[in-house]
Structure 1
Amino acid sequence: MIKEVIVVEGRDDITAVKRAVDAEMIAVGGFGINSKIISKIKEAQKRRGVIVLTDPDFAGEKIRSIISKRVKGIKHARISQSEGTKNGDIGVENASPESIIRALNNAKCETQKKTYEFTIEDMLFFKLVGNSEAKKRRDLVGNELGIGYSNGAQFLSRLNNFGISKEELINAVNTVNRRYYDEGI
C-alpha cells in the first residue's frame, strides 16, 4: 500500500493505477478543479502526503500546475509520453502497471527554495539543448530522473526546483547514453 494519496485526472486513471498499486486516490475531473477538490487534496497532503500523477500532455501539466500552486509540498510522479500513448490516445490510463510503479517510485517533491545548481551551460554540455537530438534526450533523461519531458527552459527549471544533484543528472545522462547512444560521459 502506498502511504500517500495519489491524485489523478479521472476514473480511467484510477483504474490504471489500481492495476499497479494499492493506494487511495482522488480524481480531479480534468480542468474542473474546484475549491472542494483542492480542499480534499490539502487535507490528504496534511494527513498522508500527496503524489500527483497526471497525463503527460499539456492538460496534465496545467492541472499539475494548478494543484502545485495551491497545495505545497506535494510530490510529482510522471510517466513519459511514450509510456502513456496507445493508439494515438495519451494518458495515464494507457500506461502499464510497471510504468506507473516506476513513476511513483521516482516521485519528486518541489523544493521550497529554488536552487541554481544547473545553468544553460550544463544543458548545452549534456546535449539537452542546442542540437537536433536535444528534444529526444530531454525526454529520455527526464524519464530517467522522474521529472518528465519539457522544453529546455522548463527542464532547467525542473532540475533546479526538484533538487536534482549533479551526480543524479550525470548518472541519468550516462544511462541514456549507454542505452540509446552507446556512449558515456
Structure 2
Amino acid sequence: MIKEVIVVEGRDDITAVKRAVEAELISVSGFGINEKVINKIREAQKRRGVIIFTDPDFAGEKIRKIITKRVPNCKHAYISQKEGNKNGNIGVENASPETIIKALEAAKFEVQEKRKVFDVKDMIFFKLTANIRAKERRDALGNELGIGYGNSAQFITRLNNYGIVKEEFIEALEKINKEMNYGGFDD
C-alpha cells in the first residue's frame, strides 16, 4: 500500500491507479478544484503526505500548479504523453499498471531553497534544446528521472526544483542514449 494519498484529476484516473496499487485517492474533478477539495488535500498532506499525479497535458500541468501553490510540500509523479496515450486521448487513465507503479515510485519533492545547478547552456550542450531530437530526448530523460516532460524552460526548472544532481543527470542521459541509440552527446 502506498503511504501517501494520491491526488488525480478524475474517476477514470482513480480506477487506473487502483488497478496498479493499493492507495487512498482524491479526485479533483478536473478544474473543479474548490476550497473543499483543497482542504481535503491539505488534511491528507498533514496526516500522510500527498502525491500529485495529473495527466501529462496542459490541463494536468495547470491543475498541478494550482494544488502546489495552495498545498506545499507535495510529491510529484509523472508519466510521459506516450505512456498515457490511447487513440489520441492522453491521460493517467490510459497508462499501464506498470507505468503507474514506476511513476509513483519515482515521485519527487520540490526543493524548498532555490537551486541553479542546471541552465540553458546545459540544455544546449546535452542536446536537450536547439536540436532536431531535443523534444524526444527531454521526454525520455524526464521519464527516466521521474520529472516528466517539459519544454526547455520547464525542464530546467524541474531539474533544479526536484534536486537532480549532475551525476544522476549524466547517468540517466547515458542510459537513454544507449536505449534510444543516440550514441552519445554528439548525436
TM-score by length of 2: 0.97
- Looking at structure 2, the residues matched to 102 and 81 of structure 1 have their Cα atoms a distance apart, in angstroms, of 15
For structure 1, the residue ranges without an aligned partner over 5 or more in a row are none
Matched, 1:23 2:23: yes
Aligned to 2:100: 100
Task: Report the residue type matching 1:83 in the other structure.
Answer: E
Matched, 1:3 2:3: yes
Aligned pairs for 1:121-136 (under 5 A) are 121-136=121-136
Aligned pairs for 1:13-162 (under 5 A) are 13-162=13-162
- Looking at structure 2, the residues matched to 181 and 128 of structure 1 have their Cα atoms a distance apart, in angstroms, of 15
Task: Report the residue type matching 1:176 in the other structure.
Answer: I
Tell me the CA shift for residue 121 of structure 1: 1.1
Tell me the CA shift for residue 182 of structure 1: 4.7
Tell me the CA shift for residue 183 of structure 1: 2.2
Residues 112-121 or 26-35, more deviating: 112-121
CA RMSD across the alignment: 0.8
- Looking at structure 2, the residues matched to 182 and 27 of structure 1 have their Cα atoms a distance apart, in angstroms, of 39
Tell me the CA shift for residue 172 of structure 1: 1.1
- Looking at structure 1, the residues matched to 97 and 152 of structure 2 have their Cα atoms a distance apart, in angstroms, of 29
| 4+ long deviations beyond 3 Å | none
- Looking at structure 2, the residues matched to 18 and 143 of structure 1 have their Cα atoms a distance apart, in angstroms, of 21
**Could you say what secondary structure the match of 2:180 adopts?**
helix
Tell me the CA shift for residue 76 of structure 1: 0.4
- Looking at structure 2, the residues matched to 181 and 80 of structure 1 have their Cα atoms a distance apart, in angstroms, of 19
Task: Report the residue type matching 1:113 in the other structure.
Answer: E
**Could you say what secondary structure the match of 1:51 adopts?**
strand
Q: Could you tell me the percent identity over the aligned residues?
A: 68
Tell me the CA shift for residue 59 of structure 1: 0.3
- Looking at structure 2, the residues matched to 184 and 134 of structure 1 have their Cα atoms a distance apart, in angstroms, of 13
1:20-58 Cα deviation digits (max 9, x unpaired): 000000000001100100000000001000001000000
- Looking at structure 1, the residues matched to 158 and 103 of structure 2 have their Cα atoms a distance apart, in angstroms, of 16
Aligned length: 185
- Looking at structure 2, the residues matched to 114 and 133 of structure 1 have their Cα atoms a distance apart, in angstroms, of 29
For structure 2, the residue ranges without an aligned partner over 5 or more in a row are none
- Looking at structure 1, the residues matched to 175 and 163 of structure 2 have their Cα atoms a distance apart, in angstroms, of 19
TM-score by length of 1: 0.98
Task: Report the residue type matching 2:75 in the other structure.
Answer: K
